[in-house]
A and B are shown apart, each in its own frame.
Chain A
Amino acid sequence: MIKKALSFFLLLAMAAIAAAQKPTPTPTPAKTAPPAAPHTNLKVGDAAPDFTLRATDGKTYKLSDLKGKKNVVLAFYVLAFTGG
């Protein structure tokens, strides 16, 4: 009878240890994770959205003014005075 009670307590103790060791789920780092970089919704074959912007050479360029004249490369860079 004592043996039975002892083994019961042993089992209980083991269960308690197992429960204590069960890793608690880590909270999802929703705030700290950087948002995914935005990707363009434009595809090859789409019409390029027109724009009018001021340039370093003092001129104002309108994309559609170059239609039929030149191919255009738009190289977007993050910020001045940074690499790339």
Chain B
Amino acid sequence: MKAYQADIAKFEGTDTQIFGVSVDSVYANREFAKQIGVTFPLLSDFKRTVVKQYGIFNEEGGYGNRATFVIDKDGIIQHIKEGNEAIDPTSAEDACNILTHKKATQ
């Protein structure tokens, strides 16, 4: 999450809304956001419905695995990274830049 926060300006330049998503409660996430200085919204998937919809629910641990999805303005998934690869936001930024560029040239 810190890496995304550090690069937030790059995402904002691409007309992108970033959300962090976890199965924590809103209250736990608020504390977490305060602690690490995250300014973008963290969503609480307390009922584990969204992590299941996105296919990253870890039954054993009861939480969602690390993953990043980039969704375009038409609601279509344009980029997926899972596991440790998802920590670095660079490829997600690139995906957003491409989307913005595509829109601009259309």
Most buried by A among B26, B63, B75: B75
A50 to chain B, nearest CB (A): 8
Interface residues of B in 1-53 (CB under 8 A from A): 1-4, 11, 14-24, 26, 28-33, 35, 38, 41-45, 49-51, 53
Count class of interface residues, chain B: 35 or more
Interface string of B50-85 (1 = CB under 8 A from A): 110111111111011111111111111111101100
B8 to chain A, nearest CB (A): 10
Interface residue? A2 (CB, 8 A): no
B70 to chain A, nearest CB (A): 5
Majority secondary structure, B binding face: mixed
Instruction: Please report the number of residue pairs spanning A and B whose Cβ atoms sit closer than 8 angstroms.
Output: 188
Interface residue? A4 (CB, 8 A): no
In the complex where A59-B41, A67-B75, A84-B87 touch, is A75 in contact with B21 (Cβ < 8 A)?
yes
* Inter-subunit contact A63/B75 (CB<8 Å): yes
Chain B residues closer than 8 Å to A43, beta-carbon distance: 77, 80
* Inter-subunit contact A73/B29 (CB<8 Å): no
* Inter-subunit contact B41/A55 (CB<8 Å): yes
* Inter-subunit contact A61/B73 (CB<8 Å): no
Q: CA A55 – CA B42 in complex, angstroms?
A: 5
Chain A residues close to B by CB (< 8 Å): 34-35, 37-51, 53-57, 59, 61, 63-64, 66-81, 84
Interface contacts beyond A67-B73, A75-B19, A84-B3: sample of 18 additional A-B pairs, CB < 8 Å, sorted by A? A37-B83, A42-B77, A44-B77, A48-B69, A51-B49, A55-B41, A56-B26, A56-B29, A64-B75, A72-B19, A73-B68, A73-B70, A74-B67, A75-B21, A76-B56, A77-B22, A79-B22, A79-B63
